[in-house]
Structure 1
């Protein structure tokens, strides 16, 4: 029976895999940055430098880390691709019989920043207000029993010279991940992705997906009853079916059950749009959709457009369940912000900002791979978590506690 690899050995193998194509000093930086992130749980270079505990003044360590953070010899695309190749086989085992690929947008609020590059207006979801900052597109896979695997995370700004559109940023992320996930993977998008141009591009990628529609924008759809607004379909469509869901309360007080009222309609088509952006009476292609409406989750009903052929109430219930699985990526975004203090990032170059977001993603990815490994090993690490209040149920917060000690031995050598 092969010997179980230690945490330090797994960290070594992880760095060598995702950074294998990097210039050697850049690979050393990757190792040090990931170690500093999980040891001191901060994106500040001063905190990463303190974690390294080098026999020289901290300012010299910071300057070296800063040079590497903005180095042109560091190949971000190669690291991103090698990480995806590393995790892709996991998505083809029994833990992901048909993986749900959740795509989400989150923000980094920098309301007090003045010298950081390409700041732009973003919606701060935690305070529900418009502030200056950046946006991140995140892609994560969800398997059985909510098992998660981060796939990609990219920073973008509408003020950056390489920015084309929010749709283009998200579609680039989807196109990058697509070759590494099974063909039958089911993609899930929130209401920010319900534009007709975005969905047309998804159809060109030939993926199966579901997207939540905004009820307020009065989108037109071709239904068996004729062309109707989404709000009209929602009001006229009966919801005679009952579907019970089980979801976790955010405040950590356990699980809660709810009964939803479901209705659905098949053979839905998207309308053609004119060059001026107006919907016409023509249908887009031959691709058929189904529309699922669920009441009971909040004040507004849940309206989901999907490429799945919904024929029964069980089919409609599965679409709702899959969409609700998407909310897990929001919990992951909260973890990367709180666990690594991502919103405190202070890099003054655009390359450094984007690279630090990628490094946080890789640190989270390493923790996810630990969770996918031997269960006893993970429980042993998580048991070291010490809290004066309630123990967080999200496993990754507990994994961060004390893992740096287990990795310290790997920092004695070079890359």
Structure 2
């Protein structure tokens, strides 16, 4: 029976897997940056440098890290592709019988920043107000019992030179992930993706998906209950079925039940090439599932899907898959709090985007640990002294103890 790899050995293997195509100095930077993020839980280069504790002045370590952060020889696309190639096989084992691919747009707000590149107006998800900062598209896979693995994340700004639109910024991420995940994966998108153009994009990629519908607007849905907008359809659709939803990962909530109803054979308006709408229905057939009460609140949740929903069981699966998407918000919160991501500082656009990638790679390593030997993860989590049993969402505790485990192996580059 082969010997179980130590966490330090798994870390070295991880760096080699995701950074194997980098030049050696860039690969050393990747290893040092990931260790510093895990040890000091900060995206500041000064704190990463302190974690390395090199036998030289801190300023020299910072300058070396700064050169690595902005290096033109560092291949971000290769790192991104190799990470996705590393984790994609996990989505084909029994823990991900039909994985949900959760997609989310989040933000980093920088209200006091003045000299950071391409600061733009963003919608601050924590306050609900407009602020200054950057957007991030993040994609994560969800399996049975709340298992999850981050797949890809990218930072973008509406002020950067390469920016064309939000969709042009995040659709390459969706396409790249779609090439690696199982074809039967179920994709879950929030209300920000409710757009006829996005439906067309997702259909062209062959995705099976659910998207939360906006109630506002004048969109006409052609349905067996009449030609109505989403709000009117919600009022007309009965919700006779009571569904017990799965406990949401990371949320301290009791078991909830929701009332579920659905409308099959729904068609959207067609659009001329110039963008003007036509009254005749489109060719793609959808279903709209409504869920309300309990956790959802008074206003029902409307989910449009290209799944063929015909039974209560079909509708319940759509509701569960969409609610699985909420777990990615917990992951985004962990990344921001655990690595102090909103305090990120960089004076180059390349450095800023690369640091965000590094933070999500550090989170990806923790996720791979959770998918490894359970006893090993529990021993690591137990080093964080706290009352009560181990929580289901282990990442905060893992982050507290991982640096002490890796430090003895940080005696040079890979």
* Aligned residues of 1:220 and 1:279 also touching (Cα < 8 A): no
The equivalent position to 2:286 in structure 1, one of 284, 289, 296, is: 289
The reply to whether residue 174 of structure 1 matches residue 171 of structure 2 is no
Partner of 2:164: 164
1:198-347 correspondence runs (5 A): 198-248=198-248, 254-275=252-273, 277-285=275-283, 287-296=284-293, 297-347=296-346
* Aligned residues of 2:31 and 2:413 also touching (Cα < 8 A): no
* Aligned residues of 2:219 and 2:269 also touching (Cα < 8 A): no
Distance 1:53 1:115 in 2: 29
1:389-408 correspondence runs (5 A): 394-408=393-407
Distance 2:392 2:102 in 1: 21
How many residue pairs end up in the alignment? 412
Distance 1:144 1:270 in 2: 33
The reply to whether residue 101 of structure 1 matches residue 78 of structure 2 is no
Superposition deviation, residue 277 in structure 1: 3.7
- Of stretches 261-270 and 220-229 in structure 1, the one that deviates more from structure 2 is 220-229
The reply to whether residue 72 of structure 1 matches residue 72 of structure 2 is yes
Superposition deviation, residue 243 in structure 1: 1.3
After TM superposition, where is structure 1 displaced by more than 3 Å over at least 4 residues in a row?
246-250, 274-278, 387-393
Superposition deviation, residue 386 in structure 1: 2.8
Partner of 1:137: 137
* Aligned residues of 1:294 and 1:303 also touching (Cα < 8 A): yes
1:235 partner SS:
helix
CA deviation profile, 1:280-337 (whole Å, cap 9, x unmatched)? 112333x211110111111321000011111111111111011100000000000000
What's the RMSD between the two structures over aligned residues?
1.6
* Aligned residues of 1:246 and 1:256 also touching (Cα < 8 A): no
* Aligned residues of 1:265 and 1:290 also touching (Cα < 8 A): yes
The reply to whether residue 26 of structure 1 matches residue 23 of structure 2 is no
1:188-207 correspondence runs (5 A): 188-207=188-207
TM-score, scaled relative to structure 1: 0.96
Distance 1:400 1:100 in 2: 25
* Aligned residues of 2:248 and 2:327 also touching (Cα < 8 A): no
- Of stretches 160-169 and 204-213 in structure 1, the one that deviates more from structure 2 is 160-169
Distance 2:123 2:52 in 1: 35
Distance 1:132 1:358 in 2: 20
1:363-378 correspondence runs (5 A): 363-378=362-377
Partner of 1:55: 55
CA deviation profile, 1:188-229 (whole Å, cap 9, x unmatched)? 000000011111111110110000001122322121344321
Distance 2:31 2:5 in 1: 18
Partner of 1:39: 39
CA deviation profile, 1:372-396 (whole Å, cap 9, x unmatched)? 0000000000001135899865210
1:4-19 correspondence runs (5 A): 4-19=4-19
2:245 partner SS:
strand
* Aligned residues of 2:191 and 2:213 also touching (Cα < 8 A): yes
* Aligned residues of 1:12 and 1:410 also touching (Cα < 8 A): no
TM-score, scaled relative to structure 2: 0.96
CA deviation profile, 1:211-253 (whole Å, cap 9, x unmatched)? 0001122322121344321111111111111112243497x6x
1:188 partner SS:
strand
Partner of 2:92: 92
Q: Which runs of 5+ in 2 are unaligned?
A: none
